[in-house]
């Protein structure tokens, strides 16, 4: 064990790799925890580290934070590691992390990887290292979606249709969040087919430099019969609207601030229920996440295996579409 590792062995340790916009929000959430632990933040980009330092200063806390450009400054044993890098470098970062440091719990950001080979390589690595791993699809932690899932389960309902629609919300970057939400609510993570025929026949530049995006409609059939459609139109940006239908009840969710949930019941004379919820941001969710992991050894996010059952067919479908439109034979889908 390194000298640094010996110094912090007696205290729980949380590591965040990737200190940019999302990583710095994870940091804020981690710092809000009432638990006592050491925090390490790693990013080779000094400007990203400055963002993280600035956002850490917005939180009142008593935790000791180590900011560094290199993983060499991290102890040899970490309790919780959060990898919040872009997808194009994630495989490399995870491989170095797990071959350098002993990690107990691992949280990975999406999109996991841009090429299919990386999914199997990392799966084998985390199995070999015996690391419990989850993927950050945070809608599973949202209070209103947990309430809807409870109502679906208690009434033995089955999702027949799931529709998510909005303008320029990033179908490539964020589409998996919506697929995971449908999988969560329907208890089915296995996809039968993904239809790209109604995607717009052009590739657009992402807001993130070096990445691409898609617009149009993506239709998905799950193996249990649930159907989903996610739509991102190329017009002025707007918040998402999600429609969930079962054989009886229906829900309409307008994601905004506040979040509006309209519950339509089948029973004759049943009143329409309208509830409002405060948005739960990553800077709040990471507080719950790290506390659940350190006290319970688990969390409400999908496991790596569950997430891969959505990620792999999603990557295959969009990569095939991209190659057809661009007349290429790329093995990497440049989304993050």
What is the pLDDT at residue 98? 98
Nearest to 280 by CA among 168, 161, 136, 183: 136
- Edge-first strand order for the sheet with 12-17 is 65-68, 37-42, 12-17, 77-83, 102-108, 132-135
Whether residue 111 is preceded by a cis peptide bond, meaning omega within 30 degrees of 0, is: yes
Whether residue 11 is preceded by a cis peptide bond, meaning omega within 30 degrees of 0, is: no
What is the pLDDT at residue 182? 98
CA distances from 204 to 168, 172, 213 (A): 11, 10, 5
Pick the CATH number of 143-279+309-326 from 3.40.50.1820, 3.30.360.10, 3.40.640.10, 3.20.20.150: 3.30.360.10
For the chain, what are the domain ranges? Answer: 3-137+289-293, 143-279+309-326
What pTM does this model have? 0.94
Q: Which CATH class is domain 3-137+289-293?
A: alpha beta
What is the pLDDT at residue 10? 61
In angstroms, rounded to a whole number, what is the distance separating the alpha carbons of residues 28 and 23? 9
250, β-bridge pairs: 245, 264
What is the pLDDT at residue 4? 42
Measured over the CA atoms of residue 315, residue 321, residue 326 and residue 330, the dihedral's sign is: positive
What is the pLDDT at residue 326? 96
Tens of each residue's pLDDT in the chain, 336 residues:
444 443 434 699 999 999 999 999 999 999 999 999 999 999 999 999 999 999 999 999 999 999 999 999 999 999 999 999 999 999 999 999 999 999 999 999 999 999 999 999 999 999 999 999 999 999 999 999 999 999 999 999 999 999 999 999 999 999 999 999 999 999 999 999 999 999 999 999 988 889 999 999 999 999 999 999 999 998 887 789 999 999 999 999 999 999 999 999 877 667 799 999 999 999 999 999 999 999 999 999 999 999 999 999 999 999 999 999 999 999 999 999
């Amino acid at each position: 064990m390194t000298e640094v590792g010996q110094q912090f062995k007696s205290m729980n340790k949380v590591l965040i790799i990737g200190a940019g916009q999302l990583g710095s929000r994870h940091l804020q959430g981690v710092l809000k925890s009432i638990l006592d632990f050491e925090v390490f933040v790693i990013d080779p980009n000094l400007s990203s580290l400055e963002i993280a330092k600035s956002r850490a200063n917005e939180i009142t806390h008593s935790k000791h934070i180590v900011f560094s450009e290199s993983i060499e400054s991290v102890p040899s044993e970490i309790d919780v590691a959060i990898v919040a890098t872009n997808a194009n470098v994630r495989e490399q970062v995870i491989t170095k992390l797990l071959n350098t440091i002993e990690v107990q719990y691992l949280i990975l950001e999406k999109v996991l990887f841009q090429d299919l080979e990386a999914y199997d390589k990392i799966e084998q690595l985390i199995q070999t290292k015996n690391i419990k791993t989850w993927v950050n699809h945070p809608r599973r932690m949202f209070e209103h979606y947990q309430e809807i899932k409870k109502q679906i389960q208690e009434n033995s309902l089955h999702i027949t249709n799931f529709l998510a629609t909005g303008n320029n919300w990033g179908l490539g970057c964020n589409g998996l969040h919506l697929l995971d939400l449908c999988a969560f609510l329907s208890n089915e993570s296995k996809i039968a087919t993904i239809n790209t025929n109604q995607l717009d026949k052009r590739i657009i530049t992402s807001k993130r430099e070096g990445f691409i995006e898609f617009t149009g409609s993506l239709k998905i059939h799950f193996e249990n019969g649930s159907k989903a459609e996610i739509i991102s139109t190329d017009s002025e940006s707007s918040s998402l609207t999600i429609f969930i239908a079962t054989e009886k009840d229906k829900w309409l969710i307008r994601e905004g601030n506040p979040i509006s949930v309209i519950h339509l019941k089948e029973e004759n004379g049943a009143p329409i229920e309208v509830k409002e919820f405060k948005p739960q941001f990553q800077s709040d969710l990471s507080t719950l996440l790290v506390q659940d992991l350190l006290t319970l050894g688990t969390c409400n996010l999908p496991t790596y295996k569950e997430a891969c059952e959505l990620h792999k067919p999603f990557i295959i479908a969009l990569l095939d579409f991209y190659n057809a439109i661009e007349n290429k034979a790329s093995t990497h889908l440049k989304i993050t």
